[in-house]
A and B are shown apart, each in its own frame.
Chain A
Amino acid sequence: MSTIEDISSRGPRLSKAATEPALVRWALTALAVAFLAVFLIVPLAAVFIEAFDKGVSVYIAAITDPMALAAIRLTLLTAVIAVPVNTVFGVLAAWAITKFDFRGKSVLLALIDLPFSVSPVISGLIFILLFGASGFFGPFLAAHDIKIIFAVPGIVIATLFVTFPFVARELIPLMDAQGSDDEQAALALGAGGFQTFIRVTLPNIKWGLLYGVILCNARAMGEFGAVSVVSGHIRGLTNTVPLHVEILYNEYNFAAAFAVASLLTFLALVTLVAKAIVERKARAAMRAAASRRTSGGPHEH
């Protein structure tokens, strides 16, 4: 901590009048780092310490247990369905919202964000009310022997709901800022609509799109509350990885619970690294686009 200096090497150049004495800088930095250590770093480390508490063999046994493998399969299946569906939706919604003017746009934006402000438990509850035994479609589903609640379809549907806004809300501000000039040029030159999207729009939005997909996937694999409500916790059948962690924990099988939790933690760390890389690429692409635009140079992709 002795090398804290002012930011003159990077970012805005701060004159002496616009910064604090070294001692204040040092104290504020130490306080901020201590806060993050207590709330982020210690809990993060605790997952791995607890996971290996009973040794490596217990760890391996916990993550290769047939019930754990079944949970991993279900979580992957859920993400493989939910992420592409909501990605396609996100692209369609962003296209409709950013390429055209229409009345009620801000209402539509608010509605797309809605799942973010609904408690996970309520996100599960609404599907019980629709598809549960005494729900609105319950009698119809029972008559046709279709099971949604306490079965895999319910888990997928609840995950679709909670991950609904991720891709759309990354793409909308990005595509709004980029405008439609590139697309208009391509169309004027005779390209078809779909061709324009693939050849012009997609290269422009690829980093934002990837960013949204990463966040969507993290939530799809990690969702707990909504999935917990509709799953019914049937081992080997309707248990996702987070639910499996809960069951092991409630059985006081702590080492196994943390071993399986460490897989999800590893996934979270991979997500953070991927997010950082994509952010850097997106910034670089934006700078390159800006310099192209000001210098009037040719577009290159």
Chain B
Amino acid sequence: MASRRSIIPGFNITMGLTLSYLAAMVLLPLAALFVKTTTSTWQEFLQTVTSARVVASYRLSFLAAFAAASINAVFGFLVAWVLVRYNFPGKRIIDGLVDLPFALPTAVAGISLTAVYAPSGLFGKPLAALGIKSAFSPLGVVIALTFISLPFVVRTVQPILQNLEIENEEAAASLGAGRMQTFLRVLLPTVLPAVLTGFALSFARALGEYGSVVFISGNMPMKTEITPLLIMTKLEQFDYPGAAAVAVVMLAASFLILLATNLLQWWGKRRGIWV
């Protein structure tokens, strides 16, 4: 299987252990999911994954994840830009804090965002006065998903901006381009693959998120019930085939997004942007 690169030892043992552990820990359990769905007939499977309540949960999960990833594409780019190009007091602390959603357990994020956006909360109160319901509504789901997927775009765009050649912008300016024109015609095309990669990573993460959303969404069937919660509900009712069926649909969606992300990264590499 291997063509040894050199005299370095240990291929058989490290590869053997890696593959064994991977198979036992990841591949076998995931295979169990697909095998479980074969215990129900095709009709039962279709009926489960296309029932009204399940479809409503797809719509919410998909749209809320899309909205959160879009918010992060715009603001993540802005944050990366400001962190790379400008100096301001507290910049290093802000830079470190961007990773908070990766380090903070999702349950903590969930209860904290709920406290802030509940009708009596710091932001919930003024929003309620304006007639906007934030917690316990689809907007609450978007807020939670924006929080948990916030670092992705910042962290994919930041290194690209750092490695940009300033000369390109100076050349554009010396040829008479305005700053806005330079941004749209020179900078944006270069950074776009990174923004889209960050968007796809945010979207994938937001789609599967559970912990933060269950607290803030209110979990009303057909209204604020995300797909992972629906899987949880089916599990609690011991409807294992149903849970497995919905999980297979979600997993297929995640793999498609993963594929798209890899294609985006490949596109970025081909354009010689990734260093």
A and B: partners? yes
Task: Identify the A interface with B (CB < 8 A).
Answer: 1, 3-7, 9-15, 17-20, 25, 28-29, 31-33, 35-36, 38-44, 46-47, 50, 89, 92-93, 95-97, 99-103, 108, 110-112, 114-115, 117-122, 125-130, 132, 134-136, 160-161, 164, 180, 183-184, 187-188, 193, 197, 215, 218, 221-225, 228-229, 241-243, 245-246, 249, 254, 257-258, 261, 264-265, 267-269, 271-273, 275-276
Binary contact track B232-264/A, C-beta < 8 Å → 1, others 0 = 100100101001100100110011011000100
Contact yes or no, A111 B211, CB < 8 A:
no
Which single member of A110, A130, A241 contacts B29 (CB below 8 Å)?
A130
Q: Once bound together, how far apart are the Cα atoms of A110 and B258, in whole Å?
A: 9
Give B26 Cβ to nearest chain A Cβ, in Å: 6
Q: Are A39 and B112 in contact (CB under 8 A)?
A: no
Task: Evaluate contact between B111 and A257: CB separation under 8 angstroms.
Answer: yes
CA distance A271 to B84 in the complex (A): 23
B82 interface residue per 8 A CB criterion? yes
Given A42-B123, A180-B8, A224-B211, A126 and B107 contact (CB-CB distance below 8 Å): no
Q: In the assembled complex, how far is the CB of residue A164 from the closest CB belonging to chain B, in whole angstroms?
A: 6
Task: Decide yes or no whether B15 CB sits under 8 A from chain A.
Answer: yes
| Chain B contact surface mostly | helix
Alpha-carbon distance A101/B11, docked complex (angstroms) = 10
For A46, give its contact among B28, B83, B112, B232 (CB under 8 Å). Answer: B112
Q: Is there a chain A Cβ closer than 8 Å to B52's Cβ?
A: no
| CB proximity of A138 to chain B, nearest CB, Å | 11
Residue B51 is within 8 A (CB to CB) of chain A in the complex: no
Residues of B within 8 A of A6 (CB): 85-87
Contact partner, A127, options B15, B29, B204, Cβ 8 Å: B29
23 contacts between A and B (CB under 8 A): A5-B86, A14-B166, A18-B173, A25-B85, A29-B82, A32-B75, A32-B81, A43-B147, A93-B18, A95-B10, A100-B5, A100-B8, A108-B18, A110-B262, A111-B26, A120-B211, A125-B247, A127-B29, A129-B244, A184-B8, A224-B107, A224-B211, A228-B211
Residues of A within 8 A of B105 (CB): 221-224, 241-242, 264, 268
Q: Separation in Å of the B266 CB from the closest CB of chain A?
A: 11
Please give, as numbers and ranges, the residues of chain B lying within 8 Å of A224 by CB-CB distance.
105-107, 210-211
Q: Are B29 and A36 in contact (CB under 8 A)?
A: no
- CB-based contact B166/A39 at 8 Å: no
Contact B14 A3 (CB under 8 A): no
Q: Is A18's CB under 8 angstroms from B79's CB? A: no
A-contact bits for B199-240, CB 8 A (1 contact / 0 none): 000001001111100010000000000001101100100101
Chain B residues with CB under 8 A of A111: 22, 26-27
Cα of A271 to Cα of B108 in the assembled complex, Å: 15
Residue A121 contacts which of B14, B96, B210 (CB distance < 8 angstroms)?
B210
Check if A218 sits within 8 Å of B8, measured CB to CB: no
Cβ contact within 8 Å between B8 and A183: yes
Docked complex Cα distance between A128 and B29 (Å)? 9
* Residue ID in chain A nearest B1 by CB atoms: A102
Known contacts A100-B2, A184-B8; A114 and B26 CB within 8 A of each other:
yes
A258 smallest CB distance to B (angstroms): 7
Tell me whether A132 and B3 are in contact (CB under 8 A): no
Tell me the minimal C-beta distance from B43 to chain A in angstroms. 21
Known: A18-B170, A102-B3, A261-B112. Contact between A121 and B99, CB under 8 A? no
Contact between B232 and A229, CB atoms less than 8 A apart: yes
Q: Specify the chain A residue showing the minimal Cβ separation from B243.
A: A125
In the complex, residue of chain B having the shortest beta-carbon distance to the beta carbon of A20? B179
A35 surroundings in chain B (CB, below 8 A): 75, 78-79
Tell me the bound Cα distance from A32 to B81 in angstroms.
9
Q: Which single member of A7, A99, A112, A130 contacts B87 (CB below 8 Å)?
A: A7
- Which residues of B, 11-30, contact A by the 8 Å Cβ criterion? 11, 13-15, 17-18, 21-22, 25-30
Asked if B104 lies at the interface with its beta carbon under 8 angstroms from chain A, I say yes
Least Cβ–Cβ distance between B1 and chain A, in angstroms: 6
CB distance from B172 to the nearest CB of A (A): 8
Give the residue among B116, B238, B262 with the most A Cβ atoms within 10 A. Answer: B116
Query: Which residues of the partner chain B approach A96 to less than 8 Å between Cβ atoms?
Result: 10-11, 14-15, 18
Q: Is B131 an interface residue (CB 8 A)?
A: no
